[in-house]
Amino acid sequence: MSPGAAAVSSYRQTFLKLADTCPHSAKLYLETGGSTDGNVNDGGIREAPLERGKAFHEFAERAIREMLHEGLTSLTLPHARSILNDVLAERDRLVPLSDVELLRIAVSHFADDFVLPDADVHFEERVSIDLGLVEVTGKIDLWWRDGQTIHIRDWKCGFGMPPPGSVASSVDGMRRGAKAFQLVVYALAHEATYHEPGIGWYDCRFVYPLFVGLPEREVIISHGELADHSRWLEGLVARTHDHAVSGDWPAMPGKHCQYCPAPQRCPIPDDLRPVDVIDLFEDGPVDYALKAWDLQRQLDRLKLTLNGHVKEYGPVPVGEDLQWSFIDTQTGPRFGLHKREP
C-alpha cells in the first residue's frame, strides 16, 4: 500500500480497533477488502460469521421498530421468526444453513428474554466524534436514557463470550475499569453526538443472543472519565493517521493475532506469534482440539517420567535459573518447574 493511500477524513471505530492492537493488521484489513470509513460488514471479503452478525442486527432493528410501532414490549416466538424469515429471504443475504440455525436460536432467546425498556428508545443510530481533521464514526445498536444514566447495548453474535475481566475491571464492586474498545468509543461518540445535559453515567454492555438469557458483559463509565478516554482516542487517531500518511504500519504480536485478516502476510515469524489462526474451513477448531489433547497426554507422560527421576536423583536444571523439582507446600510436596535455589 502506497504512503497516504489510507489517509482519509473519517475513520470507522471498527478500523481503529485493529489499528489500536496491531497497526499492520489494520493495513492488511484494508488490502483484503475493508475500508477505513466503512463498516467491516460493508464491502470487502464477506465471511459467514460477519454475515450472521449482520443478519441478526437487521432482525433486531426490524423487531424493535415493529415493537415500537405496535406498542409491544416483547415479541412472541412466531412473530420473531417471521421477522427473521423476511430478513433471510433477501436475495443478497449470504448466510449458510448452519448459521441460519444459529440465527433461529438467537431469535428464540430474543423472544424469550428481550423486553423493550420503558423509555425513549433509539436503535441503529449513527454517531460520530469530530476531532478536527479526522472524524471517528460508528453506529450504536440500542440506547436509551434513564435519569442521569445513558444505557448503551451492542449485539454480539459470535460463539464465544469473553470473561467479564476482559471487558472491565472490578472497582469497588462495580465493573468500572473499562477495557472494551468498542464500548468506550460508543460512550465518547454518544457524548459528542447528542450533548445530553445532566449525564452522570454510561452503562455500556455487550449482549450475547446466542446464549440463554441474553447474558451481558458490562462496563460503567462515569461522565468525568470521558475526558481521559477522549485524550486516549485522540492519540490513537493521530498515530493511525501518521501510519496512513507514511505507509509504515508496524506489526505488534498478541492474542489478537487469532483475528488477523491475512496472517500469511504478517512480517512476524509464526513461531514468535503467541497464537495461531484457526482456519475454520481447513484445519478447523476440532483439529486443533485433537492436537491439544494429544499434546496434553504427551506432557502428562513426560511430567510423570520426570517426577520419578527427580524422586530418585534430585532436581533437573532447566536453563539458567529454573529446575524441575519438588517444593514444600501446606498440602505437601508439589512437583513442577520452579525457580532454582541460589
- Mean pLDDT along residues 100-110: 94
Which H, E and C letters describe 271-333, residue by residue? HHCCCCCCCCCCCHHHHHHHHHHHHHHHHHHHHHHHHHHHHHHCCEEECCCEEEEEEEECCEE
Q: Once rounded to an integer, what is the mean pLDDT over residues 207-232?
A: 93
Whole-number percent of the chain with pLDDT over 90: 40
Mean pLDDT lowest among 143-147, 168-172, 329-333: 168-172
pTM comes to 0.75
- Cell numbers 533437573 correspond to 316
Nearest-angstrom CA–CA distance, 84 and 27:
35
3-state class of 167 per DSSP? coil
pLDDT digits (tens, 9 = 90+) for 232-252: 999 999 998 888 888 899 988
The b/e string for 272-294 (b: 16+ C-beta within 10 A; e otherwise) is ebeeebeeeeeeeeeeeeeeeee
Instruction: List residues bridging with 217 in a β-sheet.
Output: 206
Can you give the pLDDT at residue 52?
86
Rounded CA-CA distance 114/117 in Å is 9
The C-alpha angle with vertex 186 and arms to 185 and 189, in degrees rounded to 5, equals: 85
Q: Residue 342 pLDDT > 70, yes or no?
A: no
DSSP class of residue 139?
E
When pLDDT is averaged across residues 30-57 and rounded to a whole number, the result is 62
CB 156 within 8 A of CB 206: yes
In tens, the pLDDT along 69-82 reads: 999 999 999 999 99
Q: In which band, very low, low, confident or very high, does the pLDDT at 261 lie, cut at 50, 70 and 90?
A: low
* Tens digits of residue pLDDT in 111-166: 999 999 999 999 999 999 998 878 899 999 999 999 999 999 999 988 778 788 88
pLDDT score for 213: 95
pLDDT at 145 (0 to 100): 97
Coil, strand or helix: which one is 61? helix
Count of beta carbons in the 10 Å neighbourhood of residue 60: 26
Q: Is 233 helix (H, G, I), strand (E, B) or coil?
A: helix
CA dihedral 116, 122, 124, 126 (to 10 degrees): -160
When pLDDT is averaged across residues 256-281 and rounded to a whole number, the result is 72
Q: For residues 204 and 156, what is the distance between their CA atoms, to the nearest angstrom?
A: 13
For residue 67, what pLDDT band results from cuts at 50, 70 and 90?
very high
For 158-315, strand residue ranges (E) read 168-171, 174-178, 201-207, 216-222
200 has a pLDDT exceeding 50: yes
Q: Which residues pair with 152 in a beta bridge?
A: 143, 204
pLDDT at 93: 67
The pLDDT assigned to 40 comes to: 36
Sequence-distant (≥ 6) Cβ neighbours of residue 283 within 8 angstroms: none
> What mean pLDDT comes out for the span 271-297?
71
Stretch 4-17: mean pLDDT = 72
Q: Which three cell numbers stand for residue 94?
A: 449470504
**Contacts (Cβ under 8 Å, ≥6 apart) of 108:** 77, 80
DSSP 340: P
Residue 337 has which C-alpha cell?
518447574
Q: Which of 274, 234, 240, 247 is nearest to 22 (CA)?
A: 240
